[in-house]
Amino acid sequence: MNLTGKGFAGPLELMLRGTNQHYSKSSNINDDLSFGNITVSITAEQFQLISNIKTGNPLIDEYGSNDLNWLGENGKAVMTTEKEQLNISVILEKYRLNIVASDIVPLNRMVPDSRPPGCKTIKYSNDLPKTSIIIPFYDEWPSVLIRTVYSIINRTPRHLLQEIILVDDNSRLVELKSLLDKYIDKKFPRGLVKLIRNPTREGLIKARIKGWKQSTGEVVVFFDSHMEVNINWLQPLLTAVKKDRKTIAMGMLDYIDSKTLEYAHYPGYFTRYGFDWRLVFFETFFRPDQIGSNIDDPRPGVVMVGPAYAVDSKYFGEIGAYDEGMKIWGGENLEFPWRVWMCGGHLLHFPCSRLGHIARFQPYSFPGGRRHIEAYNYKRAMDVWMEPNHKKFVYDHYPEMENMDVGDLTERLQIKEKLQCKNFTWFLTNIWPELTIFDRDALAWGSIRNINHDKCLDNHEYLFQAEELLYIEICSHHLATQGFSWTKDLLLRTSLQCVVVKESTKGTKPKLEDCIIGPRDEWKHEKNGYLMHVKSGLCMNYDGFNLFMDKCDTSSRHQTWSFQHYHI
């Protein structure tokens, strides 16, 4: 890859200058706009009604004819030399993705079909609701944004695509100003791609709401501005929403590498999303009871990623849309799914709907700092949906949140009352039982301290289902890392895992493993005394250097443990 020359010039001017008709070698819109001065003259209505009508834009009309040897084509990675890595590092630091690679990758590239085999033979009805795609953006690199638009146009049935609404949240990049207007006017059917400009920065949440309010489709789909859809991505979602308008239908994300633009997918890997008491959002697997007999069966979710879900537009309004009192970005991916589930809706993942997403750290900038904004948004969500006995676990991680003023919640509470929503205990019991309510059905809970050495068991903030070692550290008494619950059914749980012992031999190390699909080992405990693993008959031992299982010895100081709170 050559980083010199026009590939490193101003983004939208390069795209307009004119190179290969199918292959824009940079994001400069002046490059790509020429195409021999071809201008698309058809309307959105003509585009939607006549499936084979030519638009005049080769990136649409001749989609699929690119040379597969082009860099980045068909989802291949754009590789860099060692010499180029330094420049790339600077670019990644500034833009959080490799904009040079993006400027090289064709705007209308194909991507590998990542759907499970069973999805490829499914025939969908043509009678599905028309859809508006909402794409907010803020200083998104132009070639990334435009590639997102082309992927939707080229891989979505025309009669289902009502419109694509781009919402510019007061971007600073000059190339996203008049040049973007010009590009949209010249390159897309008239009225198909619409651009809304926010005069001031409002944040992702309000930008999505603004796009939704101006949409005309029966269904809306919310996107990020750095995505590429896969084959037949929309039909599974629309089929579900048409069947039950209270379904929030989510596609499954593939990963576009932020450094190489490689479109990566992992056959057989299906992700749902969970959260812990820090409200940290993470990927996890589906439980066996959530997987249907067919690989393409929908699977219930817990919470969501922001992009790539379809919702009936009227239902979105009826259920309260997004909380407009939230700021910028963050928290809505938890609050909205909580509300959907507790107020009678359904949140489902669809394995046959695949969408590529550039995963990058903090895609939206945060005036005022990320932690403060997230804490503010979380607090608004908690004050509407959580009972006090749940909030205390979150405040353990965010102590500043407890007395934070988050404005008027009257409207949000009225929605909750009007819809006669269930409570958060119901949600945790029925939708997210993986999350431990530390003091519910507990004999003891809180940190577990080795009395002799004054150190506490620690999970190192481990969130996942695969097994991991249990650790011991200086006592912080923070529930996120040192919170445990010894339950009435004798399980020893962290916020998301159970403590297990895999071998009944002295010296074996205790481990953490998923409580729902993993082993559920029982433990016995004597207050300020031993922690005994029932199956092996061994006791937890800390000698000042190592944590391990050993023959029980009631006289050993290394085997004396104390919980922070006792209910016995």
pLDDT digits (tens, 9 = 90+) for 333-359: 999 999 999 999 999 999 999 999 998
Question: What is the pLDDT at residue 77?
Answer: 96
> In angstroms, rounded to a whole number, what is the distance separating the alpha carbons of residues 135 and 222?
6
Judged against a pLDDT cut of 70, whether residue 14 lies above it is answered with no
pLDDT digits (tens, 9 = 90+) for 110-129: 999 999 999 999 999 999 99
Q: How far is CA 44 from CA 51, 131, 160, 372, in A?
A: 12, 13, 12, 43
pLDDT band of residue 3 (cuts 50, 70, 90) is very low
Name the more confident of 2 and 537.
537
> In angstroms, rounded to a whole number, what is the distance separating the alpha carbons of residues 301 and 306?
13
SS3 281: strand
Question: What is the pLDDT at residue 365?
Answer: 55
Identify the CA nearest to 383 among candidates 346, 344, 416, 357.
416
> In angstroms, rounded to a whole number, what is the distance separating the alpha carbons of residues 220 and 209?
11
Query: CB under 8 Å to 219, separation ≥6 — which residues?
Result: 129, 130, 131, 132, 237, 238, 241, 310, 311, 312, 313
CATH 3.90.550.10 domain span(s) along the chain: 5-358
Question: What is the pLDDT at residue 30?
Answer: 52
Judged against a pLDDT cut of 80, whether residue 531 lies above it is answered with yes
Joined tokens for residue 321 = 């849309």
CATH architecture assignment, domain 442-566: Trefoil (2.80)
Question: What is the pLDDT at residue 4?
Answer: 33
Name the more confident of 45 and 1.
45
The CATH classification number of 370-430 equals 1.10.8.460
Joined tokens for residue 82 = 């060692």
pLDDT band of residue 88 (cuts 50, 70, 90) is confident
Greatest CA separation for the chain: 89
> In angstroms, rounded to a whole number, what is the distance separating the alpha carbons of residues 98 and 87?
10
Judged against a pLDDT cut of 80, whether residue 516 lies above it is answered with no
Average pLDDT for 200-208? 93
Terminal C-alpha separation, the chain? 67
Judged against a pLDDT cut of 70, whether residue 16 lies above it is answered with no
Fold topology of 5-358: Spore Coat Polysaccharide Biosynthesis Protein SpsA; Chain A (3.90.550)
% residues pLDDT > 90 (the chain): 75
Question: What is the pLDDT at residue 21?
Answer: 32
Judged against a pLDDT cut of 70, whether residue 29 lies above it is answered with no
Name the more confident of 305 and 162.
162
Query: CB under 8 Å to 310, separation ≥6 — which residues?
Result: 131, 219, 220, 221, 234, 237, 238, 240, 241, 248, 249, 250
Identify the CA nearest to 489 among candidates 443, 450, 558.
443
Q: How does the average pLDDT of the chain come out, rounded?
A: 90
Question: What is the pLDDT at residue 5?
Answer: 29
Query: CB under 8 Å to 251, separation ≥6 — which residues?
Result: 233, 236, 237, 308, 309, 349, 350, 353, 354, 355
Judged against a pLDDT cut of 50, whether residue 15 lies above it is answered with no
CATH 1.10.8.460 domain span(s) along the chain: 370-430
Count the residues in the chain: 568
Q: Is the pTM of this model over 0.85?
A: yes
Joined tokens for residue 295 = 């690989």
Please name the residue that has the structure tokens 């809505």. 332
> In angstroms, rounded to a whole number, what is the distance separating the alpha carbons of residues 68 and 378?
46
CATH 2.80.10.50 domain span(s) along the chain: 442-566
Question: What is the pLDDT at residue 464?
Answer: 79
